[in-house]
Structure 1
Amino acid sequence: MNSPNLERGVQLFEIGRYQDAIPYFQSAISEEIDDFTAKFLLANCFFQTDCIDKSYTLILELRATHPNDPDVYFLLSQIYLHRENSKEALININKAIEIDPYNENYFGQKAYVLLNKKKYTEALDFANEGLRVNAKNTFCLNARTTALTKLNRKDEVSDTISDLLNENPENAYSHANAGWSYLENNNTPKALTHFKEALSLNPNLEYARSGMSTAVKSKNKIYNLYLRYAFWIGNKSEKNQWIFIIGIYLAYRFSIKILSATGMTYLAIPLIILYLLFALGSWIMDPLSNMILMFDTYGKYLLDKKEKLSGQVMFSLLSASLVMLICSIITKNEAFTILSLTFLAAILPLTIGVASDKRNSRLINLAYGLIMIFIAIIGIVVGYPLSSIGIVVGVMFVGYTWIGNFIPK
């Protein structure tokens, strides 16, 4: 006979109250230390509430005691995928399918692992395989929607979304997933409709909140163009991304040389801005989009305090850079050009710093950006050669694009 704690925990788990279910499962385990069901559902609750380390520790214990249970490998695959470890996620879901080749959720999970690896055609095949087992499975339908979106098969995407929402019209994640699909296909009105529905069903769903924020930003034509690029480059393999970025860099260097040779160096600043948007877009996107939302009548209410601050810092630095550029053109004084470039270079560390949740990261990034500005201003005031100041700031900027990857965000 099941314990009352286990029964109550299962009831709460089935209605999605994972945090409330945790103490009941823990009590059930204290009553029966080898209760597999209580331990497995507790690991699931930890996973659903973002206690990933606790979930991982518990599921490894279960794998040791129950090496032939496919659900253990299924959850372990989900944990590894959450940690961006596609290799281990694939190994574990393959083991689950090997043990039980008739569970549609296992094929859906493999589809998501392959989506993470950007193997979209293979992901679609496994999502379809799961739907052959159960044509109404929401997990597989969502995976199929994403795969078709990435493959730009718009008509099939629309049909799959219809099937998905007809089957489960009150699933917040499905509405959010549909919203992202429409957003990637540049259908902002439909995307907004689905994000709104998702948030009405689950106001705390971050996947929907971030989608709503992005959809509102996409109404700005400049941001919309960048978003199209971000989706496009994001769907490429890592190898092709590097080929494209290197190509953009070579074109940028060639253009700078041409401008220098023709005496049109004042056009270098806009060119540098365009290059930064392409090469460092993943870092610039958040503060840039936050800045855009600051000037949107309704969008500004989607921003939290840190997002507003990052947008304000972005706007201030861009404005300062533009003012210095205008002064440079009017006075023909290259000191203003150095300052303009410095304010641009400081955007990365300063906007990342003000948005960081970690104290050390915030201090390191803020200090780095302020030192760049301090070096430029003090160097110009005391009369150091402008070329030397430019080299120092340039080296610091290039260096940050490397070391910034190792600073916890």
Structure 2
Amino acid sequence: MVRDREELRALLEPGRRLRRDPGVSQAQVTPHLQRALLLQQQGRHDGAEAEFRQHLALEPEDAFAHAALAISLLDLGRRADAEATARRAIGLGPDIAFAHYALARVLSDRNREAEADSAIGEALRLEPDDADYHAFAAAIALDRGRWPQALEAAEQALAFDPEHVTANNLRAMALVKLGRKSEAGATLETALARDPEDALSHANRGWTLLHERQRDRAMEHFREALRLEPGNDWARVGLVEAIKAGNPVYAVVLGYFLWMQRLSPGARWGMLIGGYFGFRIVGNLARSNPALAPWLLPVQIAYIAFALLTWLAVPLFNTLLFFHPVGRHALAADQRWQARLTTACVVPALGALAIWLGAGMEGRSLVAALVFGLLALPVAAVHQCQRGWPRWAMGGIAAVLAITGLAALAILLPGDSPLTSQAGHAGRALLGFFLLASFASQWIANGLMGVRPKR
């Protein structure tokens, strides 16, 4: 599944387009502050922190320096220190817009978007003509699924700075979400004509072309983005998806994922719930009207097959990338683990199914195929949840299901265990629990995948 947050991570990178607030008194500018800002622009945040602290030893009440230090601390992964420093900046200079902007960046990185929205709103109230602040407001709106507000904020940023790279990219993202893909493409082509060496614009153009199902052109832009910036994770993810989209089956799944991504979170849940109840209605109709059953059965099979495909296509096609000359280098560690674990469930399931079919559809091998096949679903979902308690929770659910399913198989598979015996009853009870819990786990997984834990 392609996540919205992956699209924004490159744009929310601490320090991007950072510049000294024009309201800072020149009397406060020391050589330490000048070096700190230069190091920060270069991404050398360890050195920047040291210089900021030496400056603050001379100017302990410099609100701007505290705010800039907060952004470097954020880049170093010290989120709690970054928030405390940003709040210190606001305490020293409540009327300095840059201090509120720094706090907004920290809060956004900590997945506290409502608070970040409030902080950037205060920065804009104090300095309404700042393109950076409008651009960050657009990023937050995109992150919260508010496409029209994101477009409006990005266009406000461009009104003050028509060449603002981040604002142009955010505008293109918002246009894609609103279904205006041709306008998004034109925006990015203009940005690339202005600066053909910008990795961010190349990566964004690649994703826009994927939305337009132009896989080959998308791959060109992803490769160029990675040439310009080898660590660009967004371009790497895009390249992986573009390679897999060369398979017509996965191309359909990717199209579905990208379409779902353009919906609001509420609409996505509505689609999932509506699909489930639609499936139940078709099933009830088939049972109450036997004459219609043969015509409705293909619909039911297609629904189940597509549902399974949306859950398993990503890890299974990632497994195939292990044998691709480029794809195997583009997979991240999480993707590799997800692929290995899911394949470890799917292969035994297919093997057991083959044994059952080879035995004339007799025996209990079908039970093993069912257990391993259903177990693949929660296992695949583990690495689709964000790191932190959502992933641990999903991992715990998958582990409980694995223990239950394997225990049921240990009891039921031996041919000399009658199903009517005490052990047989226990095995059937475990299997029944496993089936119900597997069904429930899919709804829990959908909820957990949408959770972004506060950091």
Same-fold call, TM cutoff 0.5: yes
Higher helix share: 1
Two-structure CA RMSD over aligned residues (Å): 3.4
Q: Are residue 204 (structure 1) and residue 231 (structure 2) matched?
A: yes
Cα drift, residue 403 of structure 1:
5.8
Structure 2 counterpart of 1:376, from 408, 421, 441: 408
Deviation per CA, 1:245-295: give whole Å up to 9, x if none.
1121123334556489769999988754432445xx4xx565234223224
After superposition, the Cα gap between the structure-2 partners of 1:162 and 1:271, relative to the gap in structure 1 and judged at 3 Å, is closer
User: Offset of 1:354 from its aligned partner?
Assistant: 8.1
Candidates 93, 97, 101, aligned match of 2:128: 101
Q: 1:367 aligns with which of 394, 399, 402?
A: 399
Kept after mapping to 2: 8 A contact 1:379/1:389: no
Report the TM-score, using the length of structure 1 for normalisation: 0.86
Give the stretch that moved more between structures: 396-405 or 194-203: 396-405
Looking at structure 1, the residues matched to 363 and 326 of structure 2 have their Cα atoms a distance apart, in angstroms, of 41
Residues 1:127 and 2:159 aligned together: no
Match of 1:346, SS state, is: helix
Structure having greater relative contact order (Cα 8 Å, sep ≥ 6): 2
Deviation track 1:18-64 (CA, whole Å, cap 9, x = no partner) reads 34322222333334322333322211112334433332221111122
Letter in 1 for 2:429: S
SS of 1:203's equivalent? coil
Question: How far apart, in 1, do the equivalents of 2:380 and 2:42 lie?
Answer: 40
Q: 1:143 to 1:271 in 2, by over 3 A?
A: closer
Query: How far, CA to CA, are the matches of 1:134 and 1:118 in structure 2?
Result: 25
For 2:260, give the aligned amino acid: I
Shift of 1:300: 1.6
Give the 3 Å change call, closer, same or farther, for CA 148–233 of structure 1 in structure 2: same
How many residues end up aligned between the 2 structures?
405
- Pairwise CA distance, 1:369: 4.6
| Alpha-carbon distance in structure 1 between the residues aligned to 2:177 and 2:125 | 28
Deviation at 1:327, TM superposition (A): 3.7
Instruction: Decide which moves more: 99-108 or 9-18.
Output: 9-18
Alignment of 1:345 with 2:377, yes or no, is: no
In structure 2, do the counterparts of structure 1 residues 97 and 266 end up closer, same or farther at CA, with 3 Å as the change threshold?
Answer: closer
Supply the distance in 1 between the matched residues of 2:80 and 2:439 (Cα, whole angstroms): 35
What does residue 395 of structure 1 align with? 436
Query: Aligned equivalents of 2:123 and 2:382: distance in 1?
Result: 42
The 10-residue stretch of structure 1 (1-10 or 196-205) with the greater mean CA deviation from structure 2: 1-10
1:312 maps to 340
| C-alpha distance in 1 between matches for 2:314 and 2:83 | 31
Amino acid at match of 1:275: A
TM-score (structure 2 length as normaliser): 0.78
**Cα pair distance change 1:336/1:247, threshold 3 Å:** farther
2-side partners of 1:162 and 1:394: how far apart? 51
Question: CA offset at residue 398 of structure 1?
Answer: 3.4
Alignment deviations for residues 172-191 of structure 1 (CA, whole Å, 9 cap, x no partner): 22222222222222222222
Q: Residues 309 and 355 of structure 1 are in contact (CA less than 8 Å); yes or no, is this contact kept in structure 2? A: no
Gap change, CA 1:41 and 1:188, over 3 Å in 2: same
Amino acid at match of 1:186: R
Letter aligned with residue 27 of structure 1:
Q
- Which structure 1 residue ranges, 5 or more long, are not aligned? none
How much does 1:228 deviate? 0.8
Map of 1:169-318 to 2, 5 A cutoff? 169-254=196-281, 258=286, 272-278=304-310, 281=311, 284=312, 286-304=314-332, 307-318=335-346
SS in 2 for 1:248: helix
The answer for the alignment partner of 1:26 in structure 2 is: 53
Contact 2:175 2:181 in 1 (8 A): yes
